Amino acid sequence: MDVILEVTDTFLFDYLYAWALPAKPALYGFDQGALANGTVPALSTWQHKPATTFFTFEPSQAAYSSSLDRDNIIRQSFSLFLILWLFGLVTYFGFSTLSYIFVFDKKGMDHPKFLKNQVSMEIAQANWALPGMALLTFPLIVLECQGYSKLYDRSADGPGAWYDWFQFPLFLLFTDCGVYWIHRSLHHSSVYKYLHKPHHKWIMPTPYASYAFHPVDGFAQSIPYHVFPFIFPLQKLAYVGLFVFINFWTIMIHDGEYVSNNPIINGAACHSVHHFAFNYNYGQYTTLWDRLGGSYREPDQDMFKKEKKMSKKMWEKQVTIMEELVKDVEGEDDRVYLPEDKKSQ
């Protein structure tokens, strides 16, 4: 993440910190002409060290003009908190909206378990969750930027060229396992209603449900992604790419477009089953851990048939399953559903 920090420092944060927290001017040895024209050298000993050898940006004078230089841990902490929060907002509103407009089947809003004002509630929940998740996440990213992780830049700095390819399946397998067990633990009766129930409010989710978590829930399920580079080597740009992929995947499994009828991939259909059947399909990318853990529930094959997936018969089947299981998981169902007369005809 130091690569992203360098980019945002160069084009944004250097100027903001130089304006808000300017460095004190040098008191000795400066030229009187420099004093007159406002170019007195600042008291900064910071030296630019590019985050990656693949590209770099020459720092402007602003990079040397703040009392908090780029390596200052307080500055990094605040900057990374803002980056995580703002990146989340841009990804959420940008790609969730595109998915909602072009992918999500609006007929799903006629589902018997679609909530009154659901989309606005999903957005409100996500807007509350994103800064909270950023606040909980940034300390781990600061440790990465301070050099405590096993992130590397060039192949020569890592295990070898072979690992530049192997790191991707390793990352997916490790995080899939970690997310499975954390997600499953969030369904334990002692924590479910406090942390994970807000995300299960949506029985028929839209893409806007992708980040509609309790902040602690969202952070907990992201821990495997951030722990990975402290345990295994990971190339810096690969880390950024995987971070983006994770956010896209989270939106995709809530878009209601059941494309992947695959026994291995935990796609939107599998995750939709999780939303209405609760204690099944906890996995993130694959069905491996659900199968090993005895929590796999195969999606109905009619979910992959466009003419049947939104049929009244399919919905009645899902409602029956949901109403049977919700009693065990939550007790009384306190959701407020959209009245029938408000749904499209």
Nearest-CA neighbor of 219 among 253, 248, 179? 179
What's the Cα-to-Cα distance from 200 to each of 141, 237, 314, 320, 321, rounded to whole Å? 28, 34, 20, 17, 15
Q: What is the pLDDT of residue 35?
A: 40
Q: What is the pLDDT of residue 256?
A: 86
- Asked if the model's pLDDT at residue 46 lies above 90, the reply is no
**What does the pLDDT read at residue 202?**
95
Token code pair at residue 22:
């300017």
pTM: 0.90
Mean pLDDT of the chain, nearest integer: 91
137-166 confidence digits (pLDDT tens): 999 999 999 999 999 999 999 999 999 999
**Alpha-carbon span 184 to 251, nearest angstrom:** 20
pLDDT, tens only, 218-249: 999 999 999 999 999 999 999 999 999 999 99
CA distances from 254 to 51, 223, 274, 301 (A): 35, 21, 11, 18
What angle do the packed helices 118-145 and 73-102 form, to 10 degrees? 150
Confidence of residue 24 (pLDDT cuts 50, 70, 90): confident
SS3 144: helix
Separation between Cα atoms, residue 136 and residue 132, nearest integer Å:
6
C-alpha 129/C-alpha 214 separation (Å) is: 6
